[in-house]
Structure 1
Amino acid sequence: MTKPKYQEIADVLISELDQGRLNQGDRFYSEAELKSRFDVSSTTAVKVLNLLQTENRVTRIKGRGTFVAKESHRRVVYLTDLNMAKTEPEWTKVLSVAFGEDPVVRQNLRLADKEAYVVIKRLRMIGDQAVQYTVNNINAAYINTDQISHPEAFLSVYQRIRDDSRLDPYKLPYTQRNLAGTIDAALVTAYFPERPEQQTFIQQFRQTYLPFDAASHLEYAISYKLPEFWGLQTDSTYGFIEPEL
Protein backbone atom coordinates (compact mmCIF):
# COMPACT_ATOMS: atom_id res chain seq x y z
CA MET A 1 0.00 0.00 0.00
CA THR A 2 1.35 3.44 -0.97
CA LYS A 3 2.04 5.77 1.93
CA PRO A 4 0.28 9.14 2.07
CA LYS A 5 2.42 12.01 0.81
CA TYR A 6 2.72 13.63 4.24
CA GLN A 7 4.04 10.37 5.73
CA GLU A 8 6.63 9.99 2.95
CA ILE A 9 7.86 13.52 3.69
CA ALA A 10 7.91 12.84 7.43
CA ASP A 11 10.03 9.73 6.82
CA VAL A 12 12.56 11.81 4.86
CA LEU A 13 12.75 14.40 7.62
CA ILE A 14 13.07 11.76 10.37
CA SER A 15 15.96 10.21 8.43
CA GLU A 16 17.66 13.60 8.30
CA LEU A 17 17.18 14.07 12.04
CA ASP A 18 18.64 10.63 12.72
CA GLN A 19 21.68 11.59 10.64
CA GLY A 20 22.23 14.64 12.84
CA ARG A 21 21.58 17.30 10.20
CA LEU A 22 19.83 19.35 12.87
CA ASN A 23 20.59 19.42 16.58
CA GLN A 24 18.19 19.31 19.50
CA GLY A 25 16.64 22.75 20.00
CA ASP A 26 17.43 23.96 16.45
CA ARG A 27 14.71 25.76 14.52
CA PHE A 28 12.90 23.32 12.22
CA TYR A 29 11.24 23.88 8.84
CA SER A 30 8.22 26.15 8.84
CA GLU A 31 5.00 25.31 7.02
CA ALA A 32 6.01 27.64 4.18
CA GLU A 33 9.47 26.06 3.90
CA LEU A 34 7.98 22.57 3.71
CA LYS A 35 5.57 23.71 1.00
CA SER A 36 8.44 25.14 -1.03
CA ARG A 37 10.89 22.27 -0.55
CA PHE A 38 8.46 19.41 -1.27
CA ASP A 39 6.03 21.28 -3.55
CA VAL A 40 2.97 20.40 -1.47
CA SER A 41 -0.11 22.18 -0.18
CA SER A 42 -0.50 23.88 3.19
CA THR A 43 -2.72 21.00 4.32
CA THR A 44 0.01 18.44 3.62
CA ALA A 45 2.70 20.58 5.27
CA VAL A 46 0.59 20.91 8.42
CA LYS A 47 0.01 17.13 8.48
CA VAL A 48 3.78 16.59 8.31
CA LEU A 49 4.41 18.89 11.26
CA ASN A 50 1.55 17.36 13.26
CA LEU A 51 2.91 13.84 12.68
CA LEU A 52 6.44 14.82 13.69
CA GLN A 53 5.09 16.46 16.82
CA THR A 54 3.03 13.36 17.67
CA GLU A 55 6.21 11.28 17.44
CA ASN A 56 8.07 13.78 19.67
CA ARG A 57 10.46 14.70 16.88
CA VAL A 58 9.63 18.40 16.95
CA THR A 59 8.12 20.89 19.38
CA ARG A 60 5.77 23.58 18.07
CA ILE A 61 5.62 26.80 20.10
CA LYS A 62 2.84 29.25 19.32
CA GLY A 63 4.21 32.55 18.08
CA ARG A 64 7.78 31.26 17.83
CA GLY A 65 7.82 28.38 15.38
CA THR A 66 8.84 24.72 15.25
CA PHE A 67 12.00 23.33 16.86
CA VAL A 68 13.79 19.98 16.97
CA ALA A 69 12.63 18.18 20.12
CA LYS A 70 15.12 17.86 22.96
CA GLU A 71 14.43 14.15 23.50
CA SER A 72 16.95 11.65 22.07
CA HIS A 73 15.68 9.30 19.35
CA ARG A 74 17.28 6.27 17.70
CA ARG A 75 20.54 6.94 19.45
CA VAL A 76 22.69 4.21 20.97
CA VAL A 77 22.75 5.01 24.67
CA TYR A 78 24.23 3.03 27.57
CA LEU A 79 22.54 3.41 30.94
CA THR A 80 24.32 2.50 34.17
CA ASP A 81 22.36 2.14 37.41
CA LEU A 82 24.77 3.51 40.00
CA ASN A 83 25.02 2.24 43.57
CA MET A 84 26.00 5.29 45.62
CA ALA A 85 26.83 3.44 48.85
CA LYS A 86 29.35 0.77 47.89
CA THR A 87 31.21 1.02 51.19
CA GLU A 88 28.32 -0.61 53.09
CA PRO A 89 27.35 -4.31 52.90
CA GLU A 90 24.37 -4.87 50.61
CA TRP A 91 21.83 -7.68 50.87
CA THR A 92 18.28 -8.61 49.83
CA LYS A 93 15.31 -9.44 52.02
CA VAL A 94 12.42 -11.35 50.41
CA LEU A 95 9.13 -10.21 51.94
CA SER A 96 6.69 -12.48 50.12
CA VAL A 97 6.17 -14.69 47.06
CA ALA A 98 2.64 -15.49 45.86
CA PHE A 99 0.40 -15.80 42.83
CA GLY A 100 -1.05 -12.47 41.71
CA GLU A 101 -4.63 -11.50 40.89
CA ASP A 102 -4.38 -7.83 39.87
CA PRO A 103 -6.10 -7.31 36.48
CA VAL A 104 -3.92 -4.26 35.73
CA VAL A 105 -0.73 -6.30 36.17
CA ARG A 106 -2.23 -9.12 34.12
CA GLN A 107 -2.91 -6.61 31.35
CA ASN A 108 0.66 -5.28 31.51
CA LEU A 109 1.97 -8.83 31.16
CA ARG A 110 -0.54 -9.50 28.35
CA LEU A 111 -1.83 -12.60 30.07
CA ALA A 112 -5.20 -14.24 29.56
CA ASP A 113 -7.52 -14.59 32.57
CA LYS A 114 -6.44 -18.17 33.28
CA GLU A 115 -2.71 -17.54 32.83
CA ALA A 116 -0.80 -17.16 36.10
CA TYR A 117 1.82 -14.73 37.26
CA VAL A 118 3.95 -14.60 40.41
CA VAL A 119 4.45 -11.54 42.64
CA ILE A 120 7.80 -11.24 44.45
CA LYS A 121 8.16 -8.42 46.96
CA ARG A 122 11.67 -7.61 48.17
CA LEU A 123 13.71 -5.03 50.04
CA ARG A 124 17.25 -4.14 49.12
CA MET A 125 19.21 -3.34 52.24
CA ILE A 126 22.45 -1.43 52.75
CA GLY A 127 23.66 -2.31 56.21
CA ASP A 128 20.51 -2.31 58.33
CA GLN A 129 18.69 0.33 56.25
CA ALA A 130 16.10 -0.36 53.53
CA VAL A 131 17.00 1.63 50.41
CA GLN A 132 14.77 0.02 47.78
CA TYR A 133 11.39 -1.72 47.68
CA THR A 134 10.66 -3.78 44.55
CA VAL A 135 7.64 -5.69 43.31
CA ASN A 136 8.49 -8.11 40.48
CA ASN A 137 5.50 -9.52 38.61
CA ILE A 138 6.73 -12.51 36.61
CA ASN A 139 4.96 -14.59 33.98
CA ALA A 140 4.55 -17.93 35.80
CA ALA A 141 5.33 -19.89 32.63
CA TYR A 142 9.02 -19.06 33.21
CA ILE A 143 9.26 -19.93 36.92
CA ASN A 144 9.07 -23.25 38.73
CA THR A 145 6.03 -22.43 40.85
CA ASP A 146 6.87 -25.25 43.27
CA GLN A 147 9.46 -22.82 44.66
CA ILE A 148 6.84 -20.27 45.75
CA SER A 149 6.74 -21.72 49.26
CA HIS A 150 10.50 -21.09 49.56
CA PRO A 151 11.03 -17.29 49.59
CA GLU A 152 14.79 -17.67 49.91
CA ALA A 153 14.79 -19.13 46.38
CA PHE A 154 13.88 -15.65 45.09
CA LEU A 155 16.74 -13.59 46.54
CA SER A 156 17.71 -13.03 42.88
CA VAL A 157 14.61 -13.06 40.69
CA TYR A 158 16.57 -13.14 37.45
CA GLN A 159 18.72 -16.04 38.67
CA ARG A 160 15.51 -17.88 39.53
CA ILE A 161 14.27 -17.37 35.96
CA ARG A 162 17.61 -18.50 34.51
CA ASP A 163 17.63 -21.64 36.64
CA ASP A 164 14.02 -22.54 35.86
CA SER A 165 13.68 -21.63 32.18
CA ARG A 166 17.26 -21.19 30.85
CA LEU A 167 16.17 -17.70 29.84
CA ASP A 168 18.45 -14.76 30.68
CA PRO A 169 16.34 -11.64 31.41
CA TYR A 170 19.43 -9.43 31.17
CA LYS A 171 19.67 -10.29 27.46
CA LEU A 172 16.02 -9.56 26.65
CA PRO A 173 14.61 -6.26 25.35
CA TYR A 174 12.89 -4.06 27.91
CA THR A 175 11.39 -0.64 28.51
CA GLN A 176 12.23 1.24 31.69
CA ARG A 177 10.94 4.58 32.97
CA ASN A 178 12.50 6.47 35.88
CA LEU A 179 10.45 9.13 37.65
CA ALA A 180 11.00 11.13 40.83
CA GLY A 181 8.20 11.86 43.26
CA THR A 182 6.33 10.89 46.41
CA ILE A 183 4.67 7.49 46.79
CA ASP A 184 1.82 5.95 48.78
CA ALA A 185 2.33 6.95 52.43
CA ALA A 186 1.45 3.40 53.51
CA LEU A 187 4.50 2.06 51.63
CA VAL A 188 6.76 4.60 53.31
CA THR A 189 5.41 3.71 56.75
CA ALA A 190 5.70 -0.03 56.14
CA TYR A 191 9.17 -0.22 54.55
CA PHE A 192 10.90 3.09 55.28
CA PRO A 193 9.56 3.96 58.76
CA GLU A 194 12.42 6.35 59.54
CA ARG A 195 11.48 8.52 56.54
CA PRO A 196 8.79 11.25 56.34
CA GLU A 197 5.63 10.37 54.41
CA GLN A 198 6.47 13.04 51.80
CA GLN A 199 9.88 11.50 51.08
CA THR A 200 10.87 11.70 47.40
CA PHE A 201 11.70 8.38 45.74
CA ILE A 202 13.08 7.33 42.38
CA GLN A 203 10.23 5.29 40.91
CA GLN A 204 11.33 2.75 38.32
CA PHE A 205 8.86 0.96 36.04
CA ARG A 206 10.20 -1.89 33.91
CA GLN A 207 8.66 -4.22 31.33
CA THR A 208 10.76 -7.08 29.98
CA TYR A 209 9.63 -8.52 26.66
CA LEU A 210 9.69 -11.96 25.07
CA PRO A 211 10.81 -11.41 21.44
CA PHE A 212 9.81 -14.97 20.52
CA ASP A 213 6.34 -14.61 22.09
CA ALA A 214 4.60 -11.38 21.10
CA ALA A 215 1.43 -12.51 22.87
CA SER A 216 2.83 -12.06 26.41
CA HIS A 217 5.63 -10.41 28.40
CA LEU A 218 8.08 -11.85 30.91
CA GLU A 219 8.04 -9.18 33.61
CA TYR A 220 6.36 -6.05 34.90
CA ALA A 221 8.30 -4.60 37.84
CA ILE A 222 8.05 -1.49 40.00
CA SER A 223 10.85 -0.27 42.27
CA TYR A 224 10.98 2.59 44.76
CA LYS A 225 14.51 3.80 45.53
CA LEU A 226 15.84 6.33 48.00
CA PRO A 227 17.53 8.92 45.77
CA GLU A 228 20.67 9.42 47.84
CA PHE A 229 21.63 5.78 47.30
CA TRP A 230 21.07 5.60 43.55
CA GLY A 231 22.08 7.43 40.39
CA LEU A 232 21.76 6.98 36.64
CA GLN A 233 24.66 7.51 34.24
CA THR A 234 23.98 7.97 30.51
CA ASP A 235 26.65 7.39 27.85
CA SER A 236 25.92 8.00 24.16
CA THR A 237 27.87 6.71 21.17
CA TYR A 238 26.51 9.53 19.00
CA GLY A 239 29.28 11.55 17.38
CA PHE A 240 32.96 11.56 18.26
CA ILE A 241 33.99 11.13 21.88
CA GLU A 242 37.41 12.31 23.00
CA PRO A 243 39.28 9.56 24.87
CA GLU A 244 39.86 10.16 28.55
CA LEU A 245 43.43 11.12 29.42
Structure 2
Amino acid sequence: MPLKYQQVEQFLLYQLKNGDFKEGDKFYSEAELKKRFDVSSATVIKAINALVSKGLLVRQQGKGTFVSRARRGQLVKFFDREKDNDADETVTVLSIKRESDPRILAELKLTAGDSYYHIIRLRRANTVPVQLQHTYLMADYFNPIALKKPTYYESVYERIRQDSGIDLFSTQIDETTAIAFPVPAAERELLQLENAQQPAAFIRRHSYLFDDTVIEYVESYKRWDYFEIQIKTV
Protein backbone atom coordinates (compact mmCIF):
# COMPACT_ATOMS: atom_id res chain seq x y z
CA MET A 1 0.00 0.00 0.00
CA PRO A 2 1.23 3.55 -0.62
CA LEU A 3 2.69 5.53 2.25
CA LYS A 4 0.42 8.11 3.89
CA TYR A 5 2.35 11.08 2.53
CA GLN A 6 2.02 9.64 -0.99
CA GLN A 7 -1.76 9.49 -0.61
CA VAL A 8 -1.81 13.12 0.56
CA GLU A 9 0.49 14.13 -2.31
CA GLN A 10 -1.65 12.31 -4.88
CA PHE A 11 -4.80 14.06 -3.68
CA LEU A 12 -3.17 17.51 -3.68
CA LEU A 13 -1.71 16.95 -7.14
CA TYR A 14 -5.16 16.02 -8.42
CA GLN A 15 -6.56 19.28 -7.07
CA LEU A 16 -3.74 21.31 -8.63
CA LYS A 17 -4.12 19.69 -12.04
CA ASN A 18 -7.90 19.73 -11.88
CA GLY A 19 -7.96 23.53 -11.61
CA ASP A 20 -9.13 23.77 -8.01
CA PHE A 21 -6.34 26.30 -7.46
CA LYS A 22 -5.09 29.02 -9.82
CA GLU A 23 -1.53 30.24 -10.22
CA GLY A 24 -0.61 32.50 -7.31
CA ASP A 25 -3.40 31.23 -5.03
CA LYS A 26 -2.57 30.62 -1.41
CA PHE A 27 -2.46 26.90 -0.75
CA TYR A 28 -3.58 24.90 2.28
CA SER A 29 -1.81 25.59 5.56
CA GLU A 30 -0.06 22.81 7.43
CA ALA A 31 -2.79 22.89 10.09
CA GLU A 32 -5.55 22.56 7.48
CA LEU A 33 -3.89 19.53 5.90
CA LYS A 34 -3.25 17.85 9.25
CA LYS A 35 -6.91 18.19 10.15
CA ARG A 36 -8.21 17.21 6.72
CA PHE A 37 -6.18 14.00 6.43
CA ASP A 38 -5.72 13.25 10.13
CA VAL A 39 -1.95 12.92 9.75
CA SER A 40 1.17 14.24 11.45
CA SER A 41 3.08 17.41 10.62
CA ALA A 42 5.92 15.29 9.24
CA THR A 43 3.56 13.62 6.74
CA VAL A 44 2.15 16.97 5.60
CA ILE A 45 5.58 18.56 5.23
CA LYS A 46 6.87 15.61 3.20
CA ALA A 47 3.92 15.80 0.81
CA ILE A 48 4.22 19.58 0.40
CA ASN A 49 7.99 19.39 -0.12
CA ALA A 50 7.46 16.86 -2.91
CA LEU A 51 5.16 19.30 -4.72
CA VAL A 52 7.56 22.18 -4.11
CA SER A 53 10.40 20.15 -5.66
CA LYS A 54 8.25 19.60 -8.74
CA GLY A 55 7.79 23.35 -9.15
CA LEU A 56 4.06 23.24 -8.43
CA LEU A 57 4.15 25.07 -5.09
CA VAL A 58 6.38 27.76 -3.60
CA ARG A 59 6.96 28.64 0.04
CA GLN A 60 7.17 32.26 1.17
CA GLN A 61 8.71 32.88 4.57
CA GLY A 62 6.13 34.20 7.01
CA LYS A 63 3.33 34.13 4.42
CA GLY A 64 2.66 30.47 3.65
CA THR A 65 2.58 28.20 0.62
CA PHE A 66 1.35 29.35 -2.79
CA VAL A 67 0.61 27.79 -6.16
CA SER A 68 3.58 28.45 -8.42
CA ARG A 69 3.21 31.02 -11.19
CA ALA A 70 6.01 29.35 -13.14
CA ARG A 71 5.37 26.53 -15.59
CA ARG A 72 7.93 23.92 -16.44
CA GLY A 73 6.20 23.04 -19.67
CA GLN A 74 2.96 23.45 -21.57
CA LEU A 75 0.32 21.04 -20.35
CA VAL A 76 -1.74 19.15 -22.87
CA LYS A 77 -4.71 16.84 -22.73
CA PHE A 78 -5.16 13.81 -24.95
CA PHE A 79 -8.66 12.89 -26.00
CA ASP A 80 -9.33 9.41 -27.31
CA ARG A 81 -12.16 10.20 -29.69
CA GLU A 82 -14.72 7.53 -30.40
CA LYS A 83 -16.42 6.69 -33.67
CA ASP A 84 -19.79 6.99 -31.97
CA ASN A 85 -19.88 9.28 -28.92
CA ASP A 86 -23.42 8.18 -28.11
CA ALA A 87 -22.54 4.48 -28.02
CA ASP A 88 -23.71 2.34 -25.14
CA GLU A 89 -20.42 1.16 -23.62
CA THR A 90 -19.86 -1.97 -21.56
CA VAL A 91 -16.72 -3.54 -20.10
CA THR A 92 -16.30 -7.27 -19.51
CA VAL A 93 -13.53 -8.72 -17.36
CA LEU A 94 -12.43 -11.82 -19.25
CA SER A 95 -9.85 -13.15 -16.80
CA ILE A 96 -7.66 -12.32 -13.79
CA LYS A 97 -4.49 -14.29 -13.06
CA ARG A 98 -1.40 -13.97 -10.90
CA GLU A 99 1.64 -14.24 -13.17
CA SER A 100 5.41 -13.75 -13.26
CA ASP A 101 6.32 -13.47 -16.94
CA PRO A 102 9.90 -12.10 -17.13
CA ARG A 103 8.94 -9.68 -19.92
CA ILE A 104 6.21 -8.07 -17.80
CA LEU A 105 8.33 -8.15 -14.64
CA ALA A 106 10.86 -6.01 -16.51
CA GLU A 107 8.15 -3.51 -17.53
CA LEU A 108 7.07 -3.24 -13.87
CA LYS A 109 10.69 -2.97 -12.68
CA LEU A 110 10.30 -6.16 -10.68
CA THR A 111 12.75 -9.01 -10.29
CA ALA A 112 12.63 -12.79 -10.62
CA GLY A 113 10.49 -14.25 -7.87
CA ASP A 114 8.08 -11.31 -7.88
CA SER A 115 4.60 -11.48 -9.36
CA TYR A 116 1.78 -9.25 -10.54
CA TYR A 117 -1.88 -9.57 -11.51
CA HIS A 118 -2.91 -9.77 -15.15
CA ILE A 119 -6.41 -8.39 -15.80
CA ILE A 120 -7.87 -8.82 -19.30
CA ARG A 121 -10.86 -6.65 -20.16
CA LEU A 122 -12.89 -6.18 -23.33
CA ARG A 123 -14.69 -2.91 -24.00
CA ARG A 124 -17.68 -2.84 -26.32
CA ALA A 125 -19.56 0.03 -27.96
CA ASN A 126 -23.11 -0.88 -28.94
CA THR A 127 -22.11 -4.57 -28.69
CA VAL A 128 -19.12 -4.05 -31.03
CA PRO A 129 -15.82 -5.09 -29.35
CA VAL A 130 -13.57 -2.05 -29.79
CA GLN A 131 -10.70 -2.42 -27.30
CA LEU A 132 -8.94 -5.31 -25.60
CA GLN A 133 -6.87 -4.27 -22.61
CA HIS A 134 -4.20 -6.22 -20.74
CA THR A 135 -3.57 -4.55 -17.38
CA TYR A 136 -0.56 -5.78 -15.39
CA LEU A 137 -1.07 -4.49 -11.85
CA MET A 138 1.43 -4.49 -9.01
CA ALA A 139 0.36 -7.12 -6.46
CA ASP A 140 0.48 -4.61 -3.58
CA TYR A 141 -2.40 -2.67 -5.17
CA PHE A 142 -4.56 -5.64 -6.15
CA ASN A 143 -7.68 -6.43 -4.16
CA PRO A 144 -8.11 -10.24 -3.81
CA ILE A 145 -11.88 -9.77 -3.73
CA ALA A 146 -11.64 -9.73 -7.54
CA LEU A 147 -10.47 -13.35 -7.67
CA LYS A 148 -13.96 -14.41 -6.64
CA LYS A 149 -15.73 -11.46 -8.25
CA PRO A 150 -13.94 -10.45 -11.50
CA THR A 151 -16.48 -7.71 -12.19
CA TYR A 152 -14.81 -5.81 -9.33
CA TYR A 153 -12.26 -4.57 -11.87
CA GLU A 154 -14.62 -3.46 -14.63
CA SER A 155 -13.17 -0.02 -13.80
CA VAL A 156 -9.58 -0.56 -12.66
CA TYR A 157 -8.85 3.10 -11.93
CA GLU A 158 -11.99 3.60 -9.88
CA ARG A 159 -11.19 0.56 -7.74
CA ILE A 160 -7.59 1.67 -7.14
CA ARG A 161 -8.85 5.09 -6.11
CA GLN A 162 -11.31 3.53 -3.66
CA ASP A 163 -8.90 0.92 -2.29
CA SER A 164 -5.64 2.90 -2.17
CA GLY A 165 -6.59 6.57 -2.46
CA ILE A 166 -4.51 6.90 -5.64
CA ASP A 167 -5.98 8.68 -8.65
CA LEU A 168 -4.24 7.15 -11.67
CA PHE A 169 -5.88 9.74 -13.92
CA SER A 170 -3.53 12.34 -12.42
CA THR A 171 -0.31 10.35 -11.99
CA GLN A 172 2.68 10.54 -14.29
CA ILE A 173 2.57 8.22 -17.29
CA ASP A 174 4.45 7.36 -20.41
CA GLU A 175 2.46 6.08 -23.34
CA THR A 176 3.30 5.02 -26.87
CA THR A 177 1.00 4.10 -29.72
CA ALA A 178 1.94 2.03 -32.73
CA ILE A 179 0.15 0.10 -35.46
CA ALA A 180 -0.14 -3.63 -34.82
CA PHE A 181 -0.04 -5.52 -38.12
CA PRO A 182 -0.74 -8.29 -38.18
CA VAL A 183 -2.79 -8.32 -34.99
CA PRO A 184 -2.07 -11.38 -32.80
CA ALA A 185 -4.60 -14.11 -33.46
CA ALA A 186 -6.18 -14.13 -29.98
CA GLU A 187 -6.69 -10.35 -29.99
CA ARG A 188 -7.94 -10.37 -33.56
CA GLU A 189 -10.58 -12.94 -32.67
CA LEU A 190 -11.78 -11.08 -29.57
CA LEU A 191 -11.99 -7.79 -31.49
CA GLN A 192 -13.86 -9.57 -34.27
CA LEU A 193 -11.60 -8.20 -36.98
CA GLU A 194 -12.77 -9.65 -40.26
CA ASN A 195 -9.40 -10.80 -41.54
CA ALA A 196 -5.67 -10.73 -40.92
CA GLN A 197 -5.27 -7.69 -43.19
CA GLN A 198 -6.99 -5.37 -40.72
CA PRO A 199 -4.65 -3.54 -38.29
CA ALA A 200 -5.23 -2.28 -34.77
CA ALA A 201 -3.80 0.50 -32.65
CA PHE A 202 -1.37 -0.97 -30.12
CA ILE A 203 -1.06 1.22 -27.01
CA ARG A 204 1.54 0.70 -24.26
CA ARG A 205 1.36 2.67 -21.02
CA HIS A 206 3.20 2.80 -17.69
CA SER A 207 1.66 4.65 -14.73
CA TYR A 208 4.00 5.86 -11.99
CA LEU A 209 3.78 6.80 -8.34
CA PHE A 210 5.76 9.81 -7.13
CA ASP A 211 8.80 7.73 -6.21
CA ASP A 212 8.89 6.49 -9.83
CA THR A 213 7.47 3.12 -8.84
CA VAL A 214 5.49 1.59 -11.70
CA ILE A 215 2.03 0.78 -10.37
CA GLU A 216 0.68 -0.63 -13.64
CA TYR A 217 1.74 -1.54 -17.16
CA VAL A 218 -0.96 -1.74 -19.83
CA GLU A 219 -1.06 -3.13 -23.34
CA SER A 220 -4.18 -2.37 -25.36
CA TYR A 221 -5.37 -3.29 -28.82
CA LYS A 222 -8.01 -1.03 -30.32
CA ARG A 223 -9.87 -1.54 -33.58
CA TRP A 224 -8.46 0.66 -36.34
CA ASP A 225 -11.92 1.98 -37.25
CA TYR A 226 -12.52 3.18 -33.67
CA PHE A 227 -9.18 4.87 -33.08
CA GLU A 228 -8.60 8.63 -33.22
CA ILE A 229 -6.51 10.92 -30.97
CA GLN A 230 -7.06 14.65 -30.44
CA ILE A 231 -4.55 16.82 -28.54
CA LYS A 232 -5.38 20.16 -26.88
CA THR A 233 -3.32 22.51 -24.75
CA VAL A 234 -4.74 23.46 -21.35
User: Retained in 1: the 8 A contact 2:100–2:113?
Assistant: no
2:125 maps to 126
User: Retained in 2: the 8 A contact 1:143–1:160?
Assistant: no
Q: Given the alignment of the two structures, is residue 186 of structure 1 paired with residue 185 of structure 2, yes or no?
A: yes
Q: Please report the TM-score for the alignment, with normalisation by the length of structure 1.
A: 0.61
Deviation of residue 84 (structure 1)?
Answer: 2.0
User: Retained in 2: the 8 A contact 1:204–1:223?
Assistant: yes
Matched ranges for 1:6-85 at <5 A: 75-85=74-84
Deviation of residue 101 (structure 1)?
Answer: 1.8
Q: Secondary structure at the match of 2:158?
A: helix
The structure with more radius of gyration: 1
Q: Equivalents in 1 of 2:202, 2:122: separation in Å? A: 14
Q: Given the alignment of the two structures, is residue 233 of structure 1 paired with residue 230 of structure 2, yes or no?
A: yes
Q: Given the alignment of the two structures, is residue 223 of structure 1 paired with residue 217 of structure 2, yes or no?
A: no
Alignment RMSD: 2.0
* 120 and 188 in structure 1: CA distance in 2 versus 1, 3 angstrom threshold: closer
Q: Equivalents in 1 of 2:82, 2:138: separation in Å? A: 28
Structure with bigger RCO (C-alpha 8 Å, 6+ apart): 2
* 179 and 189 in structure 1: CA distance in 2 versus 1, 3 angstrom threshold: closer
User: Retained in 1: the 8 A contact 2:198–2:224?
Assistant: no
1:173 maps to 172
Q: Secondary structure at the match of 1:83?
A: coil
Q: Please report the TM-score for the alignment, with normalisation by the length of structure 2.
A: 0.64
Deviation of residue 211 (structure 1)?
Answer: 1.3
Q: Equivalents in 2 of 1:145, 1:114: separation in Å? A: 19
1:99 maps to 98
User: Retained in 1: the 8 A contact 2:204–2:220?
Assistant: yes
Alignment gaps of 5+ in structure 2: 1-72
Q: Equivalents in 2 of 1:103, 1:219: separation in Å? A: 15
The percentage of counterpart residues that share the same residue type is 26
User: Retained in 2: the 8 A contact 1:143–1:165?
Assistant: no
Give the AA of the match of 1:145.
P
Q: Given the alignment of the two structures, is residue 144 of structure 1 paired with residue 113 of structure 2, yes or no?
A: no
User: Retained in 1: the 8 A contact 2:174–2:207?
Assistant: yes
User: Retained in 1: the 8 A contact 2:99–2:118?
Assistant: yes
Q: Equivalents in 2 of 1:188, 1:103: separation in Å? A: 21
User: Retained in 2: the 8 A contact 1:209–1:218?
Assistant: yes
Deviations 1:90-139 (A, max 9, x none): 10011001112211111110113333311000110012211111100011
